[in-house]
Amino acid sequence: MSNTPHHAAARSARWKHIALFAAIALLGFAILTPLDPWLWKVLKVEDVKRLEIRDIYQVFRQVGHLSVWIVLAIASWILLGHTRHRPHQWFTPGLALILSPLIAGLCSELAKRLIGRLRPGIGDESGAYVFKPLFSAFTDDSNLGIPSSHATVAFAGVFMLIRLYPMLAPLALPLALGCAITRLLTGAHYSTDVWAGMCIAYASADVIHRLLFPRTGTLASTSSL
């Protein structure tokens, strides 16, 4: 019973965290939604094919591919396996690096089909929103835009990486932002597509981290387990 006040405080802090996240997410949509058509026209480059063959473009874009995070997870297992003996210390961090972008990516694909909003310029060259008939995207998933899958996977991986290794934030965050920018420069997504992906990514990383590390914070904390 002595832990009850502590648990109550933890639950209260958790609900405040969720409320703050929801408020920021909604504020982002409120700001970006009216700007979407204009931002799409302004940010899209004229020669998309020339952009796509550039090495730096591919570097940032591939951060949004699950294979990158699988490789990083394997690297984590190799490195930590030599220094830490308990599974929670060496296996769980790599597992988290895979599960966060994987679950977020699956949620993103489901959301795309539920929302059914097309990519910008599809069906209306002015940049106005165009939606498929309700639930028809489950049988025809072509040209779906929101959320951006690449942005979702990139940020889900980076958010988890930062939770495990906070000191990597200055390096990791620009990678995810770069991936998001590639989606805007090619005109493949609205800004709200990217924002939705970021929100799903944050929620995925937060939930999975709490499930896999219920008593610890960063990876460094597990060294004493």
d(CA 7, CA 4): 5
Report whether 90 contacts 98 (CB < 8 A).
no
Q: How much is the average pLDDT of 95-99? A: 95
User: What does the pLDDT read at residue 3?
Assistant: 58
More confident residue, 118 or 87: 118
Q: How much is the average pLDDT of 21-29? A: 95
User: What does the pLDDT read at residue 141?
Assistant: 87
What are the pLDDT digits (tens) for 194-218? Answer: 999 999 999 999 999 999 988 655 4
pTM confidence score? 0.88
d(CA 189, CA 36): 9
